[in-house]
Structure 1
Amino acid sequence: MTDAADRTAGVVLAYHPTEEIRENVARLLTQVPRVYVVNNSPDAASRGLLAELGAERVEVLEQAGNVGVAAGFNAGMRAALDAGFDFVWIFDQDSTVADGMLDALLRAQARTDLKVGIVGPALRAAETGNVYDADRGQGSAPIEALISSGALFSRPLLDDIGLHDEALFIDYVDHDISLRAGRAGYTNLKVFDTLLDHRFGDSQPARFLWRQVYLSNYSPMRHYYTSRNRVIVARRFGYGRWLRDDIRFATKAWAKVLFCERDRAAKLGAFLRGLRDGLRYRGLDSDR
């Protein structure tokens, strides 16, 4: 490990984890000296599986229940910072860590031509192995918003902008902290020299018109938070490329929901309630 890698801790957010989390934690341990696993589903099955991770460099942080993505990540990040680490590298359990990923991220983080904010890898669809069009390139390049999984944060950045907004609970948590970094004068970077295999939702295959597509099959609750938090973040930061890209992605996702998924009425109702609550939301400048 490099000196910077020695000063980096990994954080993995677990929610009803499967055996796959073992491999992801093992891969992380080849690149960082310590991993904090945050258990957001402290039932007997989850506790048992995570207890079997067994590595002395792994610490499981049990939460009282499902405290949400933002609070879960924050619990792991606080533990890492309190332990003296200078960088925190966070993951959800649906992502696969690639060999050499941290070194690539740290090279971008060390750029001196700009004030570096959050650094994250390019994305590849775990289901198909296809690299998304926006994730093709070389080196690193500025981007408004990165997904949480695979994102690398420095201590000075977090001291400046704070941690994730726990009131958001889930969805757009990553947009919010990315856009806060940008507002504070930092430049977030996407690193094209390393790829994160990532799944969105259940990723079940289906036929839509003449094409095979993959369905996220998010619950009505997820659709509620997605709808609510999109409005909240748009009210906080205004219209930008991030919102244009997001609306384009959401339009495609909703076409699959309406034509291919079950419980469409419940999901649409949740979306409308989220839209209403996002417009009514008053905590636009809440402390984090």
Structure 2
Amino acid sequence: MKKILGIIITYNPDIILLNKNISSFIDIADEILIIDNNSINKIELLSFENNKIKVVNNERNLGIAEGLNIGLNYAHQNRFDYILTMDQDSYFEKNTVSYLITGFNEESIAIVCPSLKDMNSNNFNSVAQIYEEIFVAITSGCLCSVRHLKSIGGFNIKLFIDYVDFELCLRLQKSGYKILQSQKSVLCHQLGDSRIEYIFNIPFICTNHSPFRRFYYARNKVYIYKNYFFSFPIFILRDIGSFFKTIFIILFFEKFRAEKFKMICKGIWHGLFYI
């Protein structure tokens, strides 16, 4: 039997939702690590500890990438075959998480990810076939080969938060590995505090992320554009288009638009010259 380590990175989590998160995949996990980035409610997390769940308390906010590397290194040292990476506010629909395991049917597969259902906008992202090769996947809900991730150096700690997942996927692609999405495995997640706005009946999803997040969003996009344009030009050009669309949505629909736009500009500058 293959060994699976569940990894949840937490920062000021909703304890009720976190419990729902764990309950949705605990049956397939041999062990679960909750890696907390110095939450204000970190004492409450200790109530989750038992013979299957361990809590790692970081003394400061290390970000997503470094937290995931702590889990990946633990998995490697303790001979786990896979890690299941989870956000604190996501959970699998009942009886669907096991479909991730059956997707690993050839050596070149590095990640199998679920279909995604946004709990705020009810937007559903899936594929036509039971398993279909895709280009990139978000962190939450991904079942990843420990060996393949270690072979490319794990998660990129330069990025801290935002686009850690996409950058990992691009490095995996460059190394010849595949990423699959499962039609039957369904993850419910929240894309920020999202809502849908309309212009001439055209829907636009507003995620309402904070100015702090917008800085890393912009900085890390530019980092990816610099490092992967010549390897994946079509993907990068499409993502640049998505970037401009996001800026449009922020300026027209979101609160604190001036501060967010300022942080995006700062992020672009840092992405060009400081990372």
TM over 0.5: yes
CA distance in 1, matches of 2:213, 2:189: 18
Q: Hey, what does 1:275 align to over in structure 2?
A: 268
Q: Distance in 2 between matches of 1:259 and 1:157?
A: 42
- Kindly provide the CA deviation profile for residues 11-66 of structure 1, in whole angstroms up to 9, marking residues without a partner as x: 011110012101111222122121100111333xx223212224321101111111
Residue among 48, 51, 69 paired with 1:56 = 51
Q: 1:143 to 1:63 in 2, by over 3 A?
A: same
Aligned residue identity for 1:254? I
Mapped partners of 1:213, 1:231: distance in 2: 23
> Equivalent residue for 1:32?
29
**What is the SS of the residue equivalent to 1:28?**
coil
Same amino acid, percent of matched pairs: 27
Is the partner of 1:136 in helix, strand or coil?
Answer: coil
Which residue does the alignment assign to 2:13?
Answer: 17
Task: Give yes or no for contact 1:118–1:181 (8 Å, CA) kept in 2.
Answer: no
Deviates more, 1:99-108 or 1:136-145: 99-108
Letter of the 2:259 counterpart: A
SS in 2 for 1:80: helix
Name the count of aligned residue pairs.
Answer: 271
Alignment of 1:139-154 (within 5 A): 139-154=130-145
Closer/same/farther in 2, CA of residues 146 and 125 from structure 1, 3 Å limit:
same
Letter in 2 for 1:191: S
Amino acid at match of 2:183: F
Correspondence for 1:119: 112
The 3-state SS of whatever aligns with 1:52 is helix
Secondary structure of 1:29's match? coil
Q: How does 1:122-133 map to 2 (within 5 A)?
A: 122-132=115-125
Q: Which runs of 5 or more residues in structure 1 are unaligned?
A: 283-288
Name the CA distance, whole Å, in 2 between partners of 1:230 and 1:149: 19
| Alignment deviations for residues 217-267 of structure 1 (CA, whole Å, 9 cap, x no partner) | 212121111111111111111143433443344344333311222211111
- DSSP 3-state at the match of 1:81: helix
SS in 1 for 2:111: strand
* Cα gap change, 1:38 to 1:223, in 2 (>3 Å): same
Contact in 1 for aligned 2:211/2:260 (Cα 8 Å): yes
Over 3 Å counting, the alpha-carbon distance change for 1:250 and 1:199 in structure 2 is: farther
Q: Which runs of 4+ in 1 moved over 6 A?
A: none
Report what 1:174 is aligned to.
Answer: 165
Aligned equivalents of 1:191 and 1:252: distance in 2? 28
CA distance in 1, matches of 2:39, 2:77: 23
Distance 2:196 2:170 in 1: 34
What RMSD, in angstroms, separates the aligned Cα atoms of the two structures?
Answer: 2.0
Whole-angstrom CA distance in 1 between matches of 2:196 and 2:141? 28
Letter in 2 for 1:35: I
Provide the rounded CA distance (Å) in 1 between the counterparts of 2:200 and 2:50. 47
Residues 21 and 89, structure 2, Cα contact 8 Å, conserved in 1? no
CA positional deviation for 1:81: 2.3
Distance 1:86-1:127 versus aligned 2 partners, 3 A rule: same
Shift of 1:210: 6.0
Q: 2:250: which partner in 1? A: 257
Matches for 1:1-288 after TM superposition, within 5 Å: 3-4=1-2, 7-18=3-14, 19-43=16-40, 46-111=41-106, 115-132=108-125, 135-203=126-194, 205=195, 207-209=197-199, 214-238=205-229, 239-281=232-274
CA distance in structure 2 between the partners assigned to 1:128 and 1:263 by the alignment? 21
- Residue matched to 1:286: none
Q: Which amino acid aligns with 2:109?
A: V
Give TM-score, length-normalised by structure 2: 0.90
SS state at 1:188 partner: strand
- Tell which deviates more after alignment, 235-244 or 272-281: 235-244
Q: Return the alpha-carbon distance in structure 2 between the equivalents of residues 12 and 200 of structure 1.
A: 17
Q: In terms of mean alpha carbon deviation, does 56-65 or 240-249 score higher?
A: 240-249
Listed one character per residue, the Cα deviations across residues 94-153 of structure 1 (whole Å, up to 9, x for unaligned) are 2112334442112111236xx112221121221243313xx2312222222111111111
CA contact 1:117–1:182 (8 Å) conserved in 2:
no
Q: In structure 2, what is the Cα distance between the partners aligned to 1:240 and 1:123?
A: 26
